[in-house]
């Protein structure tokens, strides 16, 4: 089925935040710090105030008087809305100008005179805890270093014992560098505070409207029922639109101060420089194994760069997100990871870009380690994986770090990917090609074949274990069937391009037999939808998708009672088939869901205790996460002369359980694969030693295009989730989680004859070329 929402998108009729224009609306612009670390000596706003079209200039000092200079982050830290004492990263918000048009607002920024006293910056996370490192967060009482948290998972003693016994131990430092989700639409908001009603309406492209509303209520002290957050069409989120940014708060304050609606939209550089980035994990991984390749244990130490404010969004109990699924898809005795989070003079964030709460980092690490082990043991990486993959009969599988994988058939997925790729044949071609190279024919490129196998944990989450800022992660859903049999579904999650208006209508259609075009999905408006924590961590299908199936089943049960009154039979005598209840043994005697809907609203006398109308509500608290998985194979051509990498082929076999809309799933996978190729080969938010951001435009921060992407070759297996009402697992981040390792493994495979075991992403031509310099080709 085609996506319903595309009817407006392909006609250019979507409504994005920047399309919201209110009468009398003013425009805001943010003055940002040119320094990564500096003390603010003074701020003179008088010239800006005097600009004829400027309506307000807000500084940290103004906010301080309103007790709004600092706001809580989603990780129980604090973040400056506008800097008061110091600036702590380049691009940090220093002042906010509100003017009659956006050009005047920008012009007025240049009239603000800020005197800074530059301080040394902490750029390398691995040096953040050095005793001589400047202290970034001296706003926190008694804080004398840049330490945020230490967190660990797994059994350390058992892991150490397994390492002590091991025949083979290999270690590898692996960096997952800082990247940025870079959605095409940048972040923005229109805040409209009505002084008469005391109601704040906030149009803003957030992925989590309800969570934002609650946080605004807590921060600004506004009553929650007087806040309406509307998240209209969104041009891509990828996790970038989960946090609350200072710009949003400034827009709200601007509206309160001026009494007019205030619009704030970032430009591209502001988005890349100051909003939620992703990754920045410095990982040291070790694997213990037998000489025949049987893995015994994994041990990992991580330094996590969280930037200047700990603004990541992850369930409270898990400061490193779900990184502790780093044992991946493999069977082993023991595992342990220790993660240390540190402050640096960089933009805050850390959990974004289809991260699955840090599973991207975890999957990349373990898949690199497996290849490093294969390199040392001189084993084929596919064989090594097959030897260690979990077996179907091990599910539900309790992992050494505390997860319970719900279902899977891993060897089948890997075998299918190998068959689609023609793996054995590829290896033969590669060997022949290498012989030519060794014989002196250096005219062509070198083939590399890379495999990755990933397991994700998505659908946060069981309320018992998971909350964000104390808010449990259950999702509400409401379904109302009108008298004529048309339905409205209201859900708490919000689409940034994933096609929710289609897929959730499909779930209702499947459960009730109402045509999919007769169901409207309402989302993204806190006044119109039930509470829920929003879209991220591929949780919509596992949580809100389940809520949708459950609420539709409740309506079906209600319809049964109405049908029993209509047919004058006992409800126990009714059978369901898609779209109607009928009398068991007499198929002719039945009522369609549309007939039942009309009757439910009519004068028909209903049995005692049965309410009229046809609707239901539910709150779904998932019993467990869902564990999608996949097997990816990438084939690259590497030119040793230039370091250029071309992705020749990419095979992706995904298993996300039952697929609601196969086309949308394929689209999700295509997008994620492009993301993975981009991260592996070209994307990087880099900094110089003073903390200047070097990646703040699309000239420097390279996104992949169709030119760099091959024609994806997809395959699928279907292992339903046993605990999800329709057996579906999330898929929105799978390909981004799984694909970088396949690309990097492929490039390393091509470089193996040069004796190269590992090089860090992004594998730009320069990075690849450097890795092989001074290394003669050998077998
Ligand atoms: N789906 C399906 N069958 C399944 C699983 C999913 O048909 N078994 C469909 C779903 O119904 C939904 C889509 O696939 O329409 C993605 O579902 P899901 O995996 O539940 O992920 P979410 O809807 O929660 O989306 C979030 C996820 C995340 S966290 C990021 S980051 C990301 C991603 O989605 N950001 C995206 N994909 C994106 N796609 C677009 N176009 N834009 C983004 O910003
Ligand atoms: Cu981590 S990026 Mo998605 O969960 O919105």
Rounded distance, CA 632 to CA 617, Å?
A: 40
The residue whose C-alpha atom lies closest to atom 20 belonging to ligand 1 is: 541
Return the ligand number nearest the Cα of 360.
2
Looking at the predicted structure, is the pLDDT value of residue 779 above 70?
no
Extract the tokens encoding 549: 């199936």
553 and 602 fall within a common domain: yes
Are 253 and 391 part of one and the same domain?
no
Distance 310 CA to ligand 2 centre (A): 16
> Distance from the CA of 337 to the center of ligand 1, in angstroms?
29
Could you tell me the distance, in angstroms and rounded to a whole number, from the CA of residue 355 to the centre of ligand 2? 5
Position 493 pLDDT exceeds 70 = yes
Q: Is the CB of 354 under 6 A from ligand 2?
A: yes
Q: Is 438 a domain residue?
A: yes
The reply to whether 630 and 570 lie within a common domain is no
Task: Judge contact between 648 and 713, C-beta under 8 A.
Answer: no
CATH code of the domain containing 377 = 3.30.365.10
Do 359 and 449 fall within a single domain? yes
pLDDT tens-digit series, residues 129-174: 999 999 999 999 999 999 999 999 999 999 999 999 999 999 999 9
DSSP 160-224: HHHHHH-SEEEEEEEEEEEE----SS--EEEEEEETTTTEEEEEE--S-HHHHHHHHHHHH---G
Q: Using most ligand atoms within 8 A of CB, pick from 541, 658, 663, 679 the residue to mutate for ligand 1.
A: 541
Does residue 545 sit in the same domain as residue 431? no
**Tens of pLDDT along 618-671?**
999 999 999 999 999 999 999 999 999 999 999 999 999 999 999 999 999 999
- 336 and 451 share one domain: yes
State if residue 237 touches ligand 1 by the CB under 6 angstroms criterion. yes
Tokens (6 digits) for 669: 């996978």
CA 96 to ligand 2 centroid distance, Å? 28
Residue with tokens 């062509």: 444
- Ligand 1 centroid–CA 247 distance in Å is 27
Ligand closest to CA 315: 2
At 220, the pLDDT band (50, 70, 90 cuts) reads confident
What pLDDT digit, counting tens, does each position of 669-699 carry?
Answer: 999 999 999 999 999 999 999 999 998 999 9
Please work out whether the CB of residue 659 comes within 6 Å of at least one atom of ligand 1.
yes
**Residue 720 — φ and ψ, nearest 5°?**
-60, 150
Which residues constitute the domain of residue 422? 277-459+624-772
Q: Domain check: are 634 and 616 in the same one?
A: no
Q: Is 222 in the pocket of ligand 1 (CB under 6 A)?
A: no
Mean pLDDT of the chain: 97
Ligand nearest to the CA of 675: 1
Q: Is residue 139 part of a domain?
A: no
The verdict on the CB of residue 540 being under 6 Å from ligand 1 is yes
Q: What CATH code is carried by the domain that includes residue 14?
A: 3.90.1170.50
Residue 138 lies in a domain: no
Angle at 501 between CA 496 and CA 504, to 5 degrees: 115
Tell me, yes or no, whether 748 and 767 share the same domain. Answer: yes
* pLDDT tens-digit readout, 555-613: 999 999 999 999 999 999 999 999 999 999 999 999 999 999 999 999 999 988 889 99
pLDDT at 776 over 90: no
Whether the CB of 640 sits within 6 Å of ligand 1: no
Closest atom of ligand 1 to CA, residue 661? 7
Q: Where does a domain end: 563, 590, 620?
A: 620
Exposure string for 538-547, b = 16+ CB within 10 A, e = fewer? bbbbbbbbbb
pTM for the whole thing?
0.98
Q: Model confidence over 281-311: pLDDT tens digits?
A: 999 999 999 999 999 999 999 999 999 999 9
Is 527 a member of any domain? yes
Whole-number pLDDT of residue 608: 87
| CB-ligand 1 contact for 724 (6 Å cutoff) | no
203, 524 contact by CB (below 8 A): no
Would 94 be classed as within a structural domain?
yes
| Ligand 1 centroid distance, CA of 535 (Å) | 8
Say if 130 falls within a structural domain. Answer: no
Q: Look at residue 407 and tell me whether its pLDDT is greater than 90.
A: yes
| Boundary residue ending a domain (620, 655, 685) | 620
Which of 34-38, 224-228, 773-777 comes out lowest in average pLDDT?
773-777
End residue of a domain, out of 593, 620, 647? 620
| Phi, psi dihedral angles at 86 (to 5 degrees) | -140, 160
For the chain, the 3-state helix, strand and coil shares in percent, each to the nearest 5, are 30, 25, 45
Tell me whether residue 156 is in a domain: no
- Whether 732 and 681 map to the same domain: the answer is yes
> What is the C-alpha separation between 559 and 551, in angstroms, rounded?
12
Is the domain of 615 the same as that of 637? no
Tally the domains of the chain. Answer: 3
Tell me whether residue 660 is in a domain. yes
- 98 with 197, same domain? yes
Instruction: Choose one of 179, 181, 239 to mutate for the ligand 2 pocket test, by most ligand atoms within 8 angstroms of C-beta.
Output: 239
563 and 438 in a common domain: no
The complex's ipTM works out to: 0.99
């Amino acid at each position: 089925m085609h996506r319903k929402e595309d009817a407006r998108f392909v006609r250019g009729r979507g409504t994005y935040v920047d399309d919201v224009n209110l009468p009398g609306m003013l425009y805001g612009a943010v003055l940002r710090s040119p320094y990564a670390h500096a003390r603010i000596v003074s701020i003179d706003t008088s010239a800006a105030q005097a600009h004829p079209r400027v309506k307000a200039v807000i500084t940290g000092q103004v906010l301080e008087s309103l007790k709004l200079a600092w706001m809580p982050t989603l990780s129980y830290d604090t973040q400056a809305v506008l800097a008061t004492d110091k600036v702590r990263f380049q691009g940090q918000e220093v002042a906010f100008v509100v003017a009659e048009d956006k050009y005047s607002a920008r012009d007025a920024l240049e009239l603000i005179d800020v005197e800074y006293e530059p301080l040394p910056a902490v750029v390398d996370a691995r040096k953040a805890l050095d005793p001589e490192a400047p202290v970034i967060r001296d706003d926190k009482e008694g804080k004398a270093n840049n330490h945020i948290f230490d967190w660990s998972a797994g059994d350390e003693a058992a892991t150490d014992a397994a390492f002590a016994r091991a025949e083979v131990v290999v270690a590898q430092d692996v960096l997952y560098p800082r990247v940025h989700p870079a959605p095409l639409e940048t972040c923005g908001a229109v805040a409209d505070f009505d002084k008469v009603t005391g109601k704040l309406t906030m149009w803003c492209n957030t992925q989590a409207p309800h969570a934002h509303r609650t946080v605004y209520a807590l921060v600004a002290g506004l009553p929650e029922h007087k806040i309406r957050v509307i998240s209209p069409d969104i041009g891509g989120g990828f996790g970038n639109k989960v946090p609350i940014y200072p710009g949003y708060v400034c827009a709200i304050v601007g509206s309160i101060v001026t009494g007019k609606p205030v619009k704030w939209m970032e430009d591209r550089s502001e988005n890349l420089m100051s909003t939620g980035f992703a990754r920045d994990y410095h990982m040291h991984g070790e694997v213990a194994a037998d000489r025949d390749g049987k893995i015994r244990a994994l041990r990992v130490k991580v330094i996590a760069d969280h930037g200047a404010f700990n603004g990541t969004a992850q369930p409270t109990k898990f400061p490193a997100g779900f990184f502790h699924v780093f044992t991946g898809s493999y069977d082993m005795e023991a595992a342990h990871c220790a993660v240390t989070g540190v402050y640096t003079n960089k933009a805050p964030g850390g959990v974004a870009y289809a991260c699955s709460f840090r599973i991207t980092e975890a999957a990349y690490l373990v898949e690199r380690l497996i290849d490093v082990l294969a390199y040392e043991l001189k084993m084929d990486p596919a064989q090594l994986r097959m030897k260690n993959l979990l077996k179907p009969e091990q599910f539900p599988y309790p992992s050494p770090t505390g997860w319970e994988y719900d279902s899977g058939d891993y060897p089948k997925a890997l075998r299918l990917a190998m068959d689609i790729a023609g793996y054995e044949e590829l290896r033969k071609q590669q060997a022949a090609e290498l012989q030519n190279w060794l014989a002196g024919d250096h005219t062509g490129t070198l083939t590399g074949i890379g495999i990755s196998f990933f397991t994700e944990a998505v659908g946060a989450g069981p309320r018992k274990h998971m909350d964000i800022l104390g808010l449990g992660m259950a999702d509400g859903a409401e379904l109302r069937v009108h008298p004529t049999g048309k339905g409205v579904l209201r859900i708490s999650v919000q689409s940034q391009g994933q096609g929710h208006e289609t897929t959730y209508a499909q779930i209702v259609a499947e459960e009730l037999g109402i045509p999919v075009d007769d169901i409207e999905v309402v989302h993204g408006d806190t006044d119109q939808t039930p509470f829920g924590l929003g879209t991220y961590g591929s949780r919509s299908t596992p949580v809100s998708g389940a809520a949708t199936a459950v609420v539709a089943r409740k309506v079906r049960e209600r319809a049964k009672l109405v049908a029993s009154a209509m047919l004058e039979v006992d409800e126990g005598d009714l059978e369901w088939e898609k779209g109607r209840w009928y009398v068991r043994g007499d198929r002719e005697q039945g009522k369609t869901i549309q007939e039942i809907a009309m009757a439910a609203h009519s004068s028909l006398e209903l049995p005692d205790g049965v309410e009229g109308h046809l609707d239901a509500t539910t709150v779904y608290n998932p019993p467990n996460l869902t564990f999608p998985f996949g097997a990816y194979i990438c084939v690259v051509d590497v030119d040793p002369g230039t370091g250029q990498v071309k992705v020749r082929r990419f095979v992706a076999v995904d298993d996300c359980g039952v697929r609601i809309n196969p086309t949308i799933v394929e689209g999700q996978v295509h997008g994620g694969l492009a993301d993975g190729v981009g991260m592996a080969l070209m994307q990087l938010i880099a900094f110089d030693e003073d903390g200047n951001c070097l990646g703040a435009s699309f000239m420097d921060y390279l996104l992949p295009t169709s030119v760099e992407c091959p024609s994806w070759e997809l395959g699928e297996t279907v292992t339903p989730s046993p605990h999800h009402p329709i057996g579906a697992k999330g898929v929105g981040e799978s390909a981004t989680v799984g694909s970088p390792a396949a690309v990097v493994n492929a490039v390393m495979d091509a470089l193996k004859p040069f004796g190269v075991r590992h090089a860090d992403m992004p594998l730009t031509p320069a990075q690849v070329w450097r890795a092989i310099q001074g290394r003669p080709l050998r077998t």
